Protein backbone atom coordinates (compact mmCIF):
# COMPACT_ATOMS: atom_id res chain seq x y z
CA UNK A 1 0.00 0.00 0.00
CA UNK A 2 1.11 3.58 -0.59
CA UNK A 3 1.06 6.81 1.38
CA UNK A 4 -0.42 8.73 -1.55
CA UNK A 5 -2.15 12.02 -0.74
CA UNK A 6 -3.46 14.75 -2.99
CA UNK A 7 -3.55 18.36 -1.76
CA UNK A 8 -5.78 21.30 -2.71
CA UNK A 9 -5.89 24.70 -1.04
CA UNK A 10 -9.04 26.82 -0.82
CA UNK A 11 -10.04 30.12 0.76
CA UNK A 12 -13.30 30.29 2.70
CA UNK A 13 -14.99 33.16 0.87
CA UNK A 14 -18.00 35.23 1.90
CA UNK A 15 -20.27 33.03 -0.22
CA UNK A 16 -18.90 29.93 1.56
CA UNK A 17 -19.73 31.17 5.07
CA UNK A 18 -22.97 31.11 7.05
CA UNK A 19 -24.52 33.78 9.27
CA UNK A 20 -21.97 32.96 12.01
CA UNK A 21 -19.01 33.35 9.62
CA UNK A 22 -18.39 29.60 9.84
CA UNK A 23 -18.03 27.54 6.68
CA UNK A 24 -21.36 26.22 5.42
CA UNK A 25 -21.54 22.43 5.42
CA UNK A 26 -22.37 22.55 1.71
CA UNK A 27 -19.26 24.63 1.00
CA UNK A 28 -17.11 22.20 2.95
CA UNK A 29 -18.52 19.29 0.94
CA UNK A 30 -17.88 21.25 -2.26
CA UNK A 31 -14.23 21.78 -1.26
CA UNK A 32 -13.62 18.10 -0.59
CA UNK A 33 -15.53 17.13 -3.75
CA UNK A 34 -13.23 19.37 -5.80
CA UNK A 35 -10.19 17.77 -4.15
CA UNK A 36 -11.58 14.28 -4.79
CA UNK A 37 -12.22 15.05 -8.46
CA UNK A 38 -8.74 16.48 -9.09
CA UNK A 39 -7.20 13.51 -7.25
CA UNK A 40 -9.18 11.05 -9.39
CA UNK A 41 -8.12 12.94 -12.54
CA UNK A 42 -4.51 12.71 -11.44
CA UNK A 43 -4.77 8.96 -10.84
CA UNK A 44 -6.49 8.14 -14.14
CA UNK A 45 -10.08 7.45 -13.08
CA UNK A 46 -11.61 10.92 -13.10
CA UNK A 47 -14.79 12.10 -14.79
CA UNK A 48 -13.31 12.52 -18.27
CA UNK A 49 -11.72 9.06 -18.16
CA UNK A 50 -14.92 7.32 -17.03
CA UNK A 51 -17.48 9.21 -19.13
CA UNK A 52 -16.65 7.45 -22.45
CA UNK A 53 -17.15 4.11 -20.69
CA UNK A 54 -20.57 5.12 -19.37
CA UNK A 55 -19.28 4.96 -15.80
CA UNK A 56 -19.30 7.42 -12.94
CA UNK A 57 -18.64 7.56 -9.22
CA UNK A 58 -21.65 8.34 -7.02
CA UNK A 59 -21.20 9.17 -3.36
CA UNK A 60 -23.38 7.11 -1.02
CA UNK A 61 -22.22 8.44 2.35
CA UNK A 62 -20.12 11.11 4.01
CA UNK A 63 -19.17 11.56 7.64
CA UNK A 64 -17.35 14.55 9.12
CA UNK A 65 -15.86 15.36 12.51
CA UNK A 66 -14.86 18.91 13.48
CA UNK A 67 -11.91 19.70 15.74
CA UNK A 68 -12.09 23.49 15.41
CA UNK A 69 -14.32 25.98 13.55
CA UNK A 70 -13.55 26.59 9.87
CA UNK A 71 -13.88 30.35 9.65
CA UNK A 72 -14.47 32.99 7.00
CA UNK A 73 -11.20 34.10 5.38
CA UNK A 74 -9.30 30.98 6.43
CA UNK A 75 -6.98 29.37 3.90
CA UNK A 76 -7.56 25.64 4.22
CA UNK A 77 -5.73 22.70 2.73
CA UNK A 78 -7.64 19.52 1.88
CA UNK A 79 -5.59 16.33 1.80
CA UNK A 80 -7.39 13.38 0.22
CA UNK A 81 -6.60 9.79 -0.70
CA UNK A 82 -8.52 6.72 -1.95
CA UNK A 83 -8.69 3.80 0.47
CA UNK A 84 -8.51 0.19 -0.79
CA UNK A 85 -11.79 -0.77 -2.55
CA UNK A 86 -14.15 -3.13 -0.75
CA UNK A 87 -16.19 -5.10 -3.27
CA UNK A 88 -18.60 -2.52 -4.77
CA UNK A 89 -17.61 0.27 -2.37
CA UNK A 90 -14.81 2.77 -2.85
CA UNK A 91 -13.85 4.80 0.20
CA UNK A 92 -12.02 8.12 0.17
CA UNK A 93 -10.84 10.09 3.19
CA UNK A 94 -9.95 13.73 3.76
CA UNK A 95 -8.07 15.81 6.30
CA UNK A 96 -8.60 19.58 6.41
CA UNK A 97 -5.96 21.80 8.00
CA UNK A 98 -5.39 25.53 8.43
CA UNK A 99 -2.43 27.52 7.12
CA UNK A 100 -0.35 26.46 10.13
CA UNK A 101 -1.09 22.77 9.66
CA UNK A 102 -3.57 22.52 12.55
CA UNK A 103 -6.40 20.00 12.06
CA UNK A 104 -9.78 21.61 11.51
CA UNK A 105 -11.86 18.60 10.49
CA UNK A 106 -11.65 15.16 8.94
CA UNK A 107 -14.06 13.37 6.62
CA UNK A 108 -14.66 9.88 5.31
CA UNK A 109 -16.73 9.16 2.21
CA UNK A 110 -18.08 6.08 0.51
CA UNK A 111 -18.69 5.83 -3.24
CA UNK A 112 -20.07 3.38 -5.78
CA UNK A 113 -18.93 2.97 -9.39
CA UNK A 114 -22.15 3.13 -11.41
CA UNK A 115 -22.74 1.82 -14.94
CA UNK A 116 -25.36 4.16 -16.41
CA UNK A 117 -26.21 1.89 -19.35
CA UNK A 118 -26.98 -1.22 -17.31
CA UNK A 119 -27.99 0.52 -14.07
CA UNK A 120 -25.63 -1.71 -12.11
CA UNK A 121 -22.71 -1.25 -9.75
CA UNK A 122 -19.23 -2.18 -10.94
CA UNK A 123 -16.06 -3.21 -9.16
CA UNK A 124 -12.51 -1.91 -9.52
CA UNK A 125 -12.02 -4.20 -12.53
CA UNK A 126 -14.19 -1.86 -14.62
CA UNK A 127 -11.87 1.10 -14.12
CA UNK A 128 -9.56 2.18 -16.94
CA UNK A 129 -5.84 1.68 -16.51
CA UNK A 130 -4.81 3.76 -13.54
CA UNK A 131 -2.16 4.21 -10.89
CA UNK A 132 -2.50 0.97 -8.94
CA UNK A 133 -0.23 2.12 -6.11
CA UNK A 134 -2.62 4.90 -5.11
CA UNK A 135 -4.63 3.22 -2.37
CA UNK A 136 -3.79 4.41 1.12
CA UNK A 137 -5.29 2.37 4.00
CA UNK A 138 -5.01 5.21 6.52
CA UNK A 139 -8.35 6.38 7.94
CA UNK A 140 -8.87 10.02 8.86
CA UNK A 141 -11.75 9.26 11.26
CA UNK A 142 -13.30 6.10 12.66
CA UNK A 143 -16.63 5.15 11.08
CA UNK A 144 -18.49 2.74 13.32
CA UNK A 145 -21.31 2.29 10.81
CA UNK A 146 -22.33 3.77 7.48
CA UNK A 147 -25.99 3.12 8.36
CA UNK A 148 -27.84 5.99 10.01
CA UNK A 149 -30.83 5.50 12.34
CA UNK A 150 -34.25 5.78 10.73
CA UNK A 151 -36.69 8.35 12.07
CA UNK A 152 -39.87 6.34 11.54
CA UNK A 153 -43.28 7.78 12.30
CA UNK A 154 -42.27 10.18 15.07
CA UNK A 155 -40.49 12.67 12.83
CA UNK A 156 -41.73 16.24 12.48
CA UNK A 157 -42.25 17.60 8.97
CA UNK A 158 -40.28 20.82 8.59
CA UNK A 159 -40.73 21.85 4.96
CA UNK A 160 -41.22 20.69 1.38
CA UNK A 161 -39.35 21.66 -1.77
CA UNK A 162 -39.08 20.73 -5.44
CA UNK A 163 -35.76 19.74 -6.96
CA UNK A 164 -34.83 22.30 -9.63
CA UNK A 165 -32.23 22.39 -12.36
CA UNK A 166 -29.90 24.60 -10.31
CA UNK A 167 -29.60 21.79 -7.75
CA UNK A 168 -28.43 19.23 -10.32
CA UNK A 169 -24.99 18.27 -11.62
CA UNK A 170 -23.82 16.54 -14.80
CA UNK A 171 -25.39 13.27 -13.65
CA UNK A 172 -28.80 15.02 -13.78
CA UNK A 173 -29.60 14.65 -10.09
CA UNK A 174 -29.26 16.89 -7.04
CA UNK A 175 -25.57 17.24 -6.24
CA UNK A 176 -24.50 15.64 -2.97
CA UNK A 177 -23.21 18.92 -1.50
CA UNK A 178 -26.61 20.59 -1.93
CA UNK A 179 -28.16 18.16 0.56
CA UNK A 180 -26.11 19.79 3.32
CA UNK A 181 -28.03 23.02 2.66
CA UNK A 182 -31.33 21.16 2.44
CA UNK A 183 -30.74 19.50 5.80
CA UNK A 184 -29.33 22.62 7.45
CA UNK A 185 -32.60 24.35 6.59
CA UNK A 186 -34.35 21.87 8.88
CA UNK A 187 -32.98 23.95 11.77
CA UNK A 188 -33.53 27.57 12.73
CA UNK A 189 -30.78 30.15 12.88
CA UNK A 190 -31.34 30.39 16.62
CA UNK A 191 -30.82 26.65 17.07
CA UNK A 192 -27.66 26.71 14.98
CA UNK A 193 -26.30 29.78 16.79
CA UNK A 194 -26.73 28.21 20.22
CA UNK A 195 -24.85 24.99 19.44
CA UNK A 196 -21.73 24.12 17.45
CA UNK A 197 -21.71 21.17 15.04
CA UNK A 198 -19.24 18.56 16.28
CA UNK A 199 -20.03 15.79 13.81
CA UNK A 200 -22.43 15.21 10.93
CA UNK A 201 -23.19 12.44 8.47
CA UNK A 202 -25.23 12.16 5.29
CA UNK A 203 -26.32 8.92 3.64
CA UNK A 204 -27.60 9.01 0.07
CA UNK A 205 -30.09 6.24 -0.64
CA UNK A 206 -31.57 7.30 -3.98
CA UNK A 207 -30.82 10.21 -6.26
CA UNK A 208 -33.35 13.06 -6.46
CA UNK A 209 -34.13 14.36 -9.95
CA UNK A 210 -35.55 17.60 -11.32
CA UNK A 211 -39.26 18.05 -10.60
CA UNK A 212 -39.47 15.65 -7.66
CA UNK A 213 -41.03 17.01 -4.47
CA UNK A 214 -38.98 16.27 -1.37
CA UNK A 215 -40.36 16.32 2.17
CA UNK A 216 -37.95 17.00 5.02
CA UNK A 217 -38.59 15.66 8.51
CA UNK A 218 -36.48 15.89 11.66
CA UNK A 219 -36.25 14.33 15.09
CA UNK A 220 -34.55 15.68 18.22
CA UNK A 221 -32.92 12.77 20.04
CA UNK A 222 -31.68 14.74 23.05
CA UNK A 223 -28.17 15.50 24.27
CA UNK A 224 -27.49 17.60 21.19
CA UNK A 225 -28.17 14.80 18.69
CA UNK A 226 -30.53 15.37 15.75
CA UNK A 227 -31.75 13.29 12.82
CA UNK A 228 -33.36 14.39 9.56
CA UNK A 229 -34.60 12.67 6.43
CA UNK A 230 -35.40 13.70 2.88
CA UNK A 231 -38.41 11.73 1.63
CA UNK A 232 -40.02 11.29 -1.78
CA UNK A 233 -43.36 9.52 -2.07
CA UNK A 234 -43.06 8.52 1.58
CA UNK A 235 -39.67 6.82 1.17
CA UNK A 236 -36.41 8.14 2.59
CA UNK A 237 -33.97 9.05 -0.17
CA UNK A 238 -31.33 10.65 2.07
CA UNK A 239 -30.60 10.69 5.80
CA UNK A 240 -28.77 13.16 8.02
CA UNK A 241 -27.41 13.03 11.56
CA UNK A 242 -25.82 15.85 13.52
CA UNK A 243 -24.09 15.90 16.89
CA UNK A 244 -23.70 19.31 18.52
CA UNK A 245 -22.24 20.87 21.65
CA UNK A 246 -22.67 24.15 23.50
Nearest to 216 by CA among 166, 174, 245: 174
Domains in the chain: ranges and CATH:
6-134 (3.10.129.10), 152-245 (3.10.129.10)
Rounded (10°) CA dihedral 162, 183, 222, 146: 110
Mean pLDDT for the stretch of residues 2-6:
90
Dist CA 26 CA 173 (whole Å): 16
pLDDT digits (tens, 9 = 90+) for 29-71: 999 999 999 999 999 999 999 999 999 999 999 999 999 999 9
| pLDDT surpassing 90 at residue 2 | no
Secondary structure (DSSP) of 63-126: EEEESS--BTT-EEEEEEEEPPPBTTEEEEEEEEE-TTS-EEEEEEEEEEEEETTTTEEE-GGG
| pLDDT surpassing 80 at residue 158 | yes
The residues facing 204 across adjacent strands are 238
Please report the pLDDT score of residue 131 as a whole number: 67
The whole model's pTM is what? 0.95
Question: Please, what is the average pLDDT of the chain?
Answer: 95
Phi, psi (degrees; rounded to nearest 5) at 187: -125, 145
Please report the pLDDT score of residue 1 as a whole number: 56
Dist CA 32 CA 16 (whole Å): 13
pLDDT digits (tens, 9 = 90+) for 204-245: 999 999 999 999 999 999 999 999 999 999 999 999 999 999
| pLDDT surpassing 90 at residue 132 | no
| pLDDT surpassing 80 at residue 130 | no
Amino acid sequence: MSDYRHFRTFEVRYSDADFKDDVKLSALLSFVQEAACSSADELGFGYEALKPRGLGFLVVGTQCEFYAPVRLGEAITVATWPCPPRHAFFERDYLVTDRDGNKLCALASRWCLFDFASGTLRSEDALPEHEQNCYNPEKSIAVSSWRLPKIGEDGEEVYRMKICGSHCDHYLHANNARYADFFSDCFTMRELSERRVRRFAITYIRQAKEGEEIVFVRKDCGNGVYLAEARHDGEAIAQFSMETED
